Structure 1
Amino acid sequence: MRFKTSFHMDAMITILFWSLAYVLTRLALQYFTPFSLGFLRYFIASCTLLAVALITKMKLPQKQDLPCFILAGALGFFLYMIAFNQGQRTVTAATGSIVISTVPVLTAFLAQIFYQERLHYIQWLAIVIELIGVAVLTLMDGVLSINTGLFWLFLAVLFLSLYNLLQRKLTKKYTALQTSAYSIFFGTILLALFAPSSIKEASHAPGIQWVYLAVLGICSSAVAYAFWSKAFSKAEQTSQVSNYMFVTPFLTSLLGFLIAGELPERSSLVGGAIIIAGFFLFIFGEKLYGAIQDQKDAA
């Protein structure tokens, strides 16, 4: 496996920017409402991608694929962003990333149903280990916030899992940049429902809030989703990419400490170590198992 030319680097860049998004969203929600933040974030992302589309002379999608792009925009940006921002109003950045990190499990189940993708039992074992790490990170020091925010976050999990499946389908026909750009464009059009209140809030926003918006829109949206789509276009299975989302709680805890001053608990270190162990087992476990079996057969 050539690491630089595989999907791993693309997925890692995405997860880094998404982990950062949990922290910055919490900070931005101190001023913006969830709906306004959702629109402004993806309006900036759309402007960024529109400039790229014009420079690269990006081709328009075919008419028969427009429903898929509209659905991707609705699931991945309109519905997901509303649910995510509503949930983040009442939970910590770490808790939000913990709940969203269950997306790989649901994505794997849905990929089996819709795409007949099958995981090796070692990969399922790795997912269980990663979930144990999430549980430790969640419960060991009482990090989990039990409130209505969790309901919204679990809705966000469903929307993002379905979005992942659509991205897998669209990247079979379109480039990663086209797939992410047109999905974000349609998502932003739907989010324009909140444009009037967004403009009002933005007109009085402090300078630091514009910094948060710029990073969320450009890095955590335009760039991150482009790399996410690129990872799906390279990977053999949907779950190989979505599994990276298990790393977000640990990264978010570290970034929350560095940026927002949210002190990491002991659970962040213990749970994070378990998650990383399961993560590497998912990536390398099947090959290691195969190598061991080959040695046994040779003997």
Structure 2
Amino acid sequence: MTSTPPPVTSSPGRDWRAPAAACTTVLLWASAFVSIRSAGEAYSPGALALGRLLAGSLTLGAILLLRREGLPSRAAWPGIIGSGLLWFGLYMVVLNWGEQQVDAGTAAMIVNIGPILMALLGARLLGESLPRRLLAGMGVSFAGAVVVGLSMSGHGGSSVLGVLLCLLAALSYAGGVVIQKPALRHGSPLQITTFGCLIGTAACLPFSGVLASEAAHAPLSATLNMVYLGVFPTALAFTTWAYALARTTAGRMGATTYAVPALVVLMSWVLLDEVPALLTVGGGLLCLAGVAVSRTRGRRGGTSGGREVAVKAPAAEAEQVAADRP
């Protein structure tokens, strides 16, 4: 059964929902870095990705059945398959693998190229505008990510393979988001996320034997962290991400994720008793300042009624109008 969600209608009283969804995503993705540290000690990259995706798929599938949303329309499937393979599948495996090959600082700097690529791809392929405030905010946030990365470097070795894997993770992350964006016009965030997660799970099935073997010997804490990664940073956070992405541009959503490094520093301090250096704190504050700049809108020239204006092709303009609905 195919079930297409009703069109999104404007309602001033609901304007808070998209920012709240974006904040939920950022908080849960930040918490994922803490959980990955624990689970990654007992599970290899492919097994960890598969276990996380299995937990996420089961959670999302159950919610989809309870809500009786059914299948998205046929037009949504190219975006679902593309984002499922690139973002849910490839990204999770290569990021887990890359972080085993390079130190945390190097990984953070390289992966944070992703939001910049996202904005550029969104402008090129989706006709999205690139306001000066967005570009300025991303520049400030990326500088903060570099500072955080430099402050964390030196706690492990780096390899050419690890750098290439982290770069591939950034590319697959950005590509997956841009591919997912058009699909959200033809299905609900829950539908797009659920079936994208299922596609990623299917792509990671070759790691099922390794997962079964490692699960038999892994400590309970590592397995619980893997399940947590699937239920919250995957099932919940990817759904709230899709909800917010359907209501703004890929570039603006990408800029929002620059708050993640600052939150990771804070969570590591509170949960892992890892006291950050002053340089790390400064970098985190730069990340947050850049996000604040990127989320503001100019008064004239770049906005109209609170919305960004750009000269676009008719198809891209129609897509942006639909995406800007609250």
**Do they fold alike, i.e. is TM over 0.5?**
yes
* Rounded Cα–Cα distance in structure 2 between residues aligned with 1:186 and 1:94: 31
1:281 aligns with 2:293: yes
Identify the residue that residue 42 of structure 2 maps to in structure 1.
31
Displacement of 1:207 in angstroms is 1.4
* Rounded Cα–Cα distance in structure 2 between residues aligned with 1:277 and 1:3: 26
2:193 maps to which of 180, 192, 195: 180
Identify the residue that residue 252 of structure 2 maps to in structure 1.
240
**Against the structure 1 CA distance between its residues 19 and 288, is the aligned structure 2 distance closer, same or farther, given a 3 Å change threshold?**
farther
* Rounded Cα–Cα distance in structure 1 between residues aligned with 2:154 and 2:263: 15
1:31–1:205 contact (8 Å) kept in structure 2: yes
Displacement of 1:100 in angstroms is 2.5
Runs of 5+ in structure 2 lacking a partner? 1-11, 304-326
Displacement of 1:274 in angstroms is 1.4
1:73 maps to which of 84, 99, 115: 84
* Rounded Cα–Cα distance in structure 1 between residues aligned with 2:277 and 2:154: 8
1:260 aligns with 2:272: yes
* Rounded Cα–Cα distance in structure 2 between residues aligned with 1:197 and 1:120: 46
Q: Amino acid of the residue matched to residue 284 of structure 2?
A: G
1:116 maps to which of 127, 130, 142: 127
* Rounded Cα–Cα distance in structure 2 between residues aligned with 1:118 and 1:281: 16
1:14–1:227 contact (8 Å) kept in structure 2: yes
* Rounded Cα–Cα distance in structure 2 between residues aligned with 1:17 and 1:109: 25
**Against the structure 1 CA distance between its residues 98 and 13, is the aligned structure 2 distance closer, same or farther, given a 3 Å change threshold?**
farther
Matches of residues 12-161 of structure 1 in structure 2 within 5 Å? Answer: 12-93=23-104, 95-140=106-151, 142=153, 146-147=158-159, 148-161=161-174
Q: Amino acid of the residue matched to residue 105 of structure 1?
A: I
1:141–1:266 contact (8 Å) kept in structure 2: no
**Against the structure 1 CA distance between its residues 3 and 36, is the aligned structure 2 distance closer, same or farther, given a 3 Å change threshold?**
same
* Rounded Cα–Cα distance in structure 2 between residues aligned with 1:65 and 1:137: 38
* Rounded Cα–Cα distance in structure 2 between residues aligned with 1:234 and 1:290: 18
Q: TM-score, normalised by structure 1?
A: 0.89
Identify the residue that residue 189 of structure 1 maps to in structure 2.
202
**Against the structure 1 CA distance between its residues 144 and 157, is the aligned structure 2 distance closer, same or farther, given a 3 Å change threshold?**
farther
- Further displaced range: 216-225 or 139-148: 139-148
* Rounded Cα–Cα distance in structure 2 between residues aligned with 1:11 and 1:218: 17
Number of aligned residues:
290
Q: TM-score, normalised by structure 2?
A: 0.82
Displacement of 1:23 in angstroms is 1.7
Displacement of 1:84 in angstroms is 0.6
Displacement of 1:156 in angstroms is 0.5
**Against the structure 1 CA distance between its residues 64 and 101, is the aligned structure 2 distance closer, same or farther, given a 3 Å change threshold?**
same
1:200 aligns with 2:180: no
Displacement of 1:149 in angstroms is 2.3
2:41–2:222 contact (8 Å) kept in structure 1: no
**Against the structure 1 CA distance between its residues 99 and 16, is the aligned structure 2 distance closer, same or farther, given a 3 Å change threshold?**
farther
* Rounded Cα–Cα distance in structure 2 between residues aligned with 1:109 and 1:290: 18
Q: CA RMSD in A?
A: 2.3
Identify the residue that residue 162 of structure 1 maps to in structure 2.
175
1:40-99 deviation per Cα after TM superposition (whole angstroms, max 9, x unaligned): 000010011111111111221334543332221100111111111101213455554443
- State the SS of the aligned residue for 2:79: helix
- State the SS of the aligned residue for 1:286: coil
1:165-205 deviation per Cα after TM superposition (whole angstroms, max 9, x unaligned): 12211111111111111100111011111111111211232
**Against the structure 1 CA distance between its residues 168 and 187, is the aligned structure 2 distance closer, same or farther, given a 3 Å change threshold?**
same
Displacement of 1:287 in angstroms is 4.1
Structure with more helix by fraction: 1
1:238-276 deviation per Cα after TM superposition (whole angstroms, max 9, x unaligned): 111111111111111222233334332222211111121
Identify the residue that residue 241 of structure 2 maps to in structure 1.
228
Displacement of 1:288 in angstroms is 8.7
Q: Amino acid of the residue matched to residue 60 of structure 2?
A: L
Q: Amino acid of the residue matched to residue 7 of structure 1?
A: A
**Against the structure 1 CA distance between its residues 4 and 90, is the aligned structure 2 distance closer, same or farther, given a 3 Å change threshold?**
farther
* Rounded Cα–Cα distance in structure 2 between residues aligned with 1:166 and 1:114: 9
**Against the structure 1 CA distance between its residues 191 and 288, is the aligned structure 2 distance closer, same or farther, given a 3 Å change threshold?**
same
